[in-house]
A = this chain, B = another copy of it.
């Protein structure tokens, strides 16, 4: 149950995140429970950025019973353990992403469709460290979010000739 062959291996020789999680829990005097294992599992099957509710539905869809309270509590522990990262894309809902051993990423978000494209920000780390140094800060993490119009959205908008030319987002704006 703890480490079933992941549906889609992230890396051929990925580190055993389950073990890492257990170690973190032990260090903190916390317990490794079936519920936490299930949440970790669901998280590992994840691709890209996801919301808490998405994970909740995934779990239920697989017949697993985990309460939302436990889910949120576990997501926090997974953050603390460095396995996932909270990705703040909008003000209304938290997003998360597997991040163990990964470089910080940037996010390109379509203002119309909300599709998210990730990109590398390796060359940003120097800039980040310089800025932190200038202000006496010790860097912890950084996040670059770009909002733009995706090619599909532009195409769709072009087909909409006849409606108002002023572009209206597909869903209410949430940054």
Task: Compute how far the CA of A105 lies from the CA of B108 in the bound complex, rounded to whole angstroms.
Answer: 17
Q: Which residues on B sit within 8 Å (CB–CB) of A108?
A: 131-132, 135, 137
Instruction: Determine how many copies of this chain the complex contains.
Output: 2
Residues from chain B with a CB closer than 8 A to the CB of A132 are 108, 146, 148
Shortest A131–chain B CB gap in Å is 5
Known contacts being A138-B148, A141-B146, A146-B128, is A86 close to B79, with CB within 8 Å? no
Task: Report A77-126 residues with CB < 8 Å from chain B CB.
Answer: 79, 86, 88-95, 106, 108, 110-111, 117, 119, 123-124
Report A123 CB to chain B, min CB distance, Å.
8
The main secondary structure of chain A at its interface with chain B is mixed
Q: Which of A130-146 contact B (CB under 8 A)?
A: 131-132, 134-146
Q: Which of B88, B106, B131, B148 contacts A88 (CB 8 A)?
A: B88
Are A148 and B143 in touch, CB under 8 angstroms? no
Interface residues of A, count at CB 8 A: 44
Q: Roughly how many angstroms separate A161 CA and B131 CA in the complex, as a whole number?
A: 28
Judged by a CB distance under 8 angstroms, whether A175 is at the interface is: yes
User: In the complex where A91-B88, A108-B131 touch, is A148 in contact with B144 (Cβ < 8 A)?
Assistant: no
A109 vs chain B, min Cβ distance (A): 9
Question: Which residues of A come within 8 Å of B, CB atoms?
Answer: 76, 79, 86, 88-95, 106, 108, 110-111, 117, 119, 123-124, 127-128, 131-132, 134-151, 154, 173, 175
